[in-house]
Amino acid sequence: CRRWNKLCQGVKVHEPIMLARWGMYNKGKKHPDKWSGHTGGILVLAVGHNKLYSGGKDTTIRVWSMVDGKCLQTLIGHDHWVCGLTVGPDGTMYSSSSDGTVRVWSGIDGSHLETLTGHTKPVRCVAAARTRLVFSGSEDMTIKVWRRGGTQTTCIRTLVGHTDLVKSLALSADHNTLYSGSGDTAIRVWSVSDGVCLKILTGHTNQVYAIVIGVGGTLYSGGRDKTIRVWRGSDGKLLSTLDHHKESVLSLALGPDDTVLSGSGFLDRPVAMWCGRTLTRIATLSRLPNYVDALAVGPDGTVFVGSRDSGTIFVFQHAGND
């Protein structure tokens, strides 16, 4: 996206333009679209194959068209909150829940394909690799590695090492490395091929809530210590600490051209946008519910925001989509 490239290459020149565009939302001159349907707060969002998936406190998963915002389906099956969602490379969707399970859904028709059991506590996050491996992180402090077969998925490995709940998972661009964030304040780096813990990244002083991987393998992590930490992917060196937020960093999402969005709480401007190249805060979004637990960005740069306090998805169009 050339507009975002220019913004980050010359942030001092283009920042006023971006602030003016996003300021239209903050000043009430422009309002986000609102997609309603959930009867409880939204805890997680995921984008894949021109669809937006949302899950939350009402135990359902809703499937939305990113073309016109229509709810295409409501997927029912979980018995408690939906905490994690991811879309695999083939379009298959995976959901994790406080009911202790991971469910597998067809990306074509939304049919329920399988339920994965084995965790002993709520499953907070899920990730899917190109190799048909699926990873689930739980409050039982473990990460389970599942291999999808033709008709049945089996657990082939359990990764142990964290001493508190596993809250977030992310895969490297080549899908060879798995990153996990935990309530124990650490980020663990795992080899996907054999499950070996390659290194432990320390720096956060409280729970790690969110992880995303940026351009060049740069790792961004957010947590209860109110910071975003930026790590070099090649060796795990801590490059920077961004401390704009006044409350916990609850969610992160990667935007076009290495922009990063972060979601926070009610004492803050809930959403901040950062240039990944300069680590400069470009813009903020307010006029949102108290807590931004879920962020997702569409292929065209549209920003989707979800909150535990609302069953509505707030949709902010990319500056060039008006």
Q: Which of 59-68, 117-126, 155-164, 274-283 has the lowest mean pLDDT?
A: 274-283
Residue 269 has pLDDT above 80, yes or no: no
User: How far from 12 is each of 6, 8, 16, CA to CA, in Å?
Assistant: 11, 9, 8
What is the per-residue DSSP string for 254-319? E-GGGEEEEE--TTS-SEEEEETTTTEEEEEE-SS-S---EEEE-TT--EEEE-TT-SEEEEE--T
Read off the pLDDT band of 90 (50, 70, 90). very high
d(CA 314, CA 107): 23
Contact 40/309 with Cβ under 8 angstroms? Answer: no
Flag whether pLDDT at 4 surpasses 80: no
Ranking 149-163, 205-219, 250-264 by mean pLDDT, the lowest is: 250-264
**What pLDDT digit, counting tens, does each position of 25-36 carry?**
766 677 889 999
Our CA dihedral for 239, 242, 247, 252, rounded to 10 degrees, sits at: -70
Whole-number pLDDT of residue 6: 46
pLDDT at 101 over 50: yes
Rounded to a whole number of angstroms, the CA Rg of the chain reads 18
> Six-digit token pair at 85?
């969602």
pLDDT tens for 12-58 read 444 555 556 666 776 667 788 999 999 999 999 999 999 999 999 99
**Res. 231: pLDDT tops 70:** yes
Which range among 22-36, 85-99, 276-290 shows the weakest confidence by mean pLDDT? 22-36
Find the helix packing angle between 2-9 and 11-26, rounded to 10°: 120
Query: Which residues does 43 contact at the CB level (< 8 Å), separation at least 6?
Result: 55, 56, 57, 81, 82, 83, 293, 294, 306, 308
CA max distance for the chain: 55
